[in-house]
Amino acid sequence: MGEGYADVPIIRINSLIKKRARKEGKRIPQVDIVEIELLLIFLEHYTIPAGTSEDEVLRILRDRALIFVLAEVGLRIDEACKMIRGQVDWNAGRAIIRRKRDKEAVIRISTRTMNYLNAYLSARQRLDGATGKPLMSLPSLPVTIWEPDKRYYP
């Protein structure tokens, strides 16, 4: 090094610059509304082929219900995954969901989406213990809509 000059820790300076530099804010992803509408139309008119296994039928019904919930209601994926069956008001077409930071909100659900949710949950009834009671009458079970209840289905 040259005389009279101090040793400069370049690595530390670079890390400080990187740490204190302005960060670009989060951006809303660009979504092609036309493609989403086409997907919803396809799912609405899709018929499950004869001979499809029961597990595959259940997956198809689940995926269709989840896509409609995400697209029509506008939930984030984590909000949809936290939906609890007992918090859905089937008659009024609404549900209470848990949003970010554990805040609750009431959402409206279209009749079409409610029908797809109901079809999925009805097909899934055997996984939920087949108690003989309608699924909508089991609000005491804190079971999310998208996962089977492990108490009844190991």
Q: pLDDT tens across 76-103, in order?
A: 888 888 888 888 898 999 999 888 888 8
Pick the CATH number of 33-129 from 2.60.40.420, 3.40.640.10, 3.40.50.300, 1.10.443.10: 1.10.443.10
Q: Are 41 and 33 in contact (CB under 8 A)?
A: no
Q: What is the mean pLDDT of residues 15-38?
A: 85
For 104, the enclosing helix (H) or strand (E) is strand 104-108
The structure tokens listed for 65 are: 């219900």
Q: What is the mean pLDDT of residues 125-134?
A: 61
Coil vs helix vs strand at 42: helix
- Amino acid making up residue 133: K
- Check pLDDT > 60 for residue 138: no
More confident residue, 147 or 68: 68
**According to the model, what pLDDT value does residue 31 have?**
80
Task: At 105, give phi and psi (nearest 5°).
Answer: -145, 150
CA angle 18–21–25, rounded 5-degree value: 115
Q: What is the mean pLDDT of residues 29-55?
A: 90
Q: Are 115 and 122 in contact (CB under 8 A)?
A: no
**According to the model, what pLDDT value does residue 102 have?**
82
C-alpha Rg value of the chain to the nearest Å = 24
Q: What is the mean pLDDT of residues 107-119?
A: 93
- The residues with which 94 forms a beta bridge, in sequence order, are 89, 108
